[in-house]
Amino acid sequence: MSPATLASNLATRAVPSAIERRDRRAARCRASVSDADVRRGRRHRPVVPITGSSDDDDDDDDDSRVARSPVTPSRRNAILSAVVALAGAASAGAPASAGEILKQLEDLLADTEAAIEADPTNESLLGQRTFFENQLERVQANSTYLDRLRPKVSSGDGGYLQRIVLTVDADLFDDEVYFWKNAMGMRVTRERKGVEGLGGGRCVVFAYGQETLTADDGGKAGVELREASSNKRNLGNGLDYVSVAVPYGIRVSRIYESGGELVYGFGYFDVRSPSGYAVRARVAARRDSAELVAVNVPDVKSAERYYVETFGMVGRAPLDENGYAPKSPPGSRLLTFGDPKETMGLLLQPLVAKVDAGTTLDVGDVYGGVVVVTNGRNGADVTPGVTSDGAGYRVTVEGYDAWEGEVGAGAKTLDAKWNAPLQV
């Protein structure tokens, strides 16, 4: 086929819409993964205690495992139930006061130690003690980090890169919620109302834990999804990808169930959300699993100067910790408030390294920029509101006190439907 004929065919070929592409991907997934509803039912089937069975009963006879009258749970099961409740409260963004999570973990560890005294050779209890010790150490380290960060943000001596904003087609909003929650492992922490320019559409914030800086296990950056008033969006060439370090693994089947797509999956995961956003995910333990957002800019030095001089962010070379993932383009700069391993960052990449020569920057209308929380910075003009970083990207500034108030109120009034388990 001649180049002219090929070009003519491409020009006249009908291009499927985003909805059609999503439906096709979902159909392929259903063809390759049998009866997802049955799998979900098994995954969320409640556990019913069995009368007369001991904790160490290893009988695998299916006939013996039938629902009987509930009984008083053993000490070990009570501890496990407490673990589930504690993890669920934290991941769902339930409000917690300073010291509350640490106190709960200390109590659980004390209960486990007491159980070990009565049964010192029980491997299950010994494993639980190790788990609680590790969790306690993690939360103590997180609390120490927040004790350093919170006074700086509240006094105006520093800032906090709190979340990124993504706009989603109305027809794909539910699919995006499913993707970030069930495939990427995040939880809805609050539903925002009356957002300027939203036009009455839905708006939710996701995070890998509590957002507030006042809770021991808080300080988790978020992804805000805003429902667009129309389905005519321009992705542009500015937003490159969002990077997350998923603590408990990637759920590939859920990616396809949401209408997303797995582009690559060796050493790291190159994923497309139902709306086409690029997400680079890896399985790793990190203080905050929301790692960074990468954007392309025509002048990296100029963009870096804006964030450094306006907000006091610190620029450095990208970490590029994952040896399997592509390296950041030469000349890229990573901007953070503090240690890049402890907080979410903004990665500035030279546009010329990501697009064809001569192509200008098109920021599009789906990436809503970053949100910086601070009470001001030494008299600098960082009053609450929306501004531009000079390259054309939106930067939203929120006062710390007002933000904490919204986070607390949003967590208390959050509808349970947003984090409900998958239904059969």
More confident residue, 195 or 37: 195
Vertex 36, ends 35 and 38: CA angle to 5°? 70
**What's the sign of the alpha-carbon dihedral 90, 370, 173, 254?**
negative
Per-residue pLDDT, 199: 55
pLDDT band at 134 (very low <50, low <70, confident <90, very high): confident
Cα(298)–Cα(361) distance, rounded to whole angstroms?
7
Per-residue pLDDT, 191: 93
Per-residue pLDDT, 266: 92
Tell whether the model's pLDDT for residue 87 goes beyond 80.
Answer: no
Per-residue pLDDT, 369: 95
Helices and strands, counts by H and E, the chain: 10, 15
**Inter-CA distances, 30 with 157, 273, 326, Å:** 53, 17, 31
Per-residue pLDDT, 165: 95
Q: What is the DSSP string of 1-48?
A: --HHHHHHHHHHSPPPPHHHHHHHHHHHHHHHS--HHHHHHHHTPPP-
pLDDT band at 38 (very low <50, low <70, confident <90, very high): very low
**Inter-CA distances, 276 with 262, 306, 362, 369, Å:** 11, 29, 16, 17
Q: pLDDT tens digits for 112-126? A: 999 999 998 999 999
* Burial grade of 284 (CB within 10 A; 0-12, 13-18, 19 or more): middle
Tell whether the model's pLDDT for residue 97 goes beyond 70.
Answer: no
Q: pLDDT tens digits for 254-297? A: 999 999 999 999 999 999 999 999 999 998 889 999 999 999 99
pLDDT band at 300 (very low <50, low <70, confident <90, very high): very high
Per-residue pLDDT, 308: 95
Find residue 348's DSSP bridge partners. Answer: 295, 333
Per-residue pLDDT, 370: 97
Tell whether the model's pLDDT for residue 60 goes beyond 70.
Answer: no
Mean pLDDT computed over 41-59: 38
Tell whether the model's pLDDT for residue 380 goes beyond 70.
Answer: no
The terminus-to-terminus CA distance of the chain in angstroms comes to: 50
Tell whether the model's pLDDT for residue 35 goes beyond 80.
Answer: no
Q: pLDDT tens digits for 322-378? A: 989 999 999 999 999 999 999 999 999 999 999 888 899 999 889 999 999 998 754
Q: Where on the phi/psi map is residue 338: left (φ > 0), alpha (ψ -120 to 50), or beta? A: left
* pTM exceeding 0.85: no
Q: In 3D, which of 109, 38, 290 has the Cα closest to residue 186? A: 290
**Inter-CA distances, 372 with 148, 226, 332, Å:** 17, 17, 21
Q: What's the mean pLDDT when you consider all of the chain? A: 80
| Residues above pLDDT 70, as percent of the chain | 73
pLDDT band at 31 (very low <50, low <70, confident <90, very high): very low
Give the distance from CA 60 to its chain's centroid.
Answer: 38
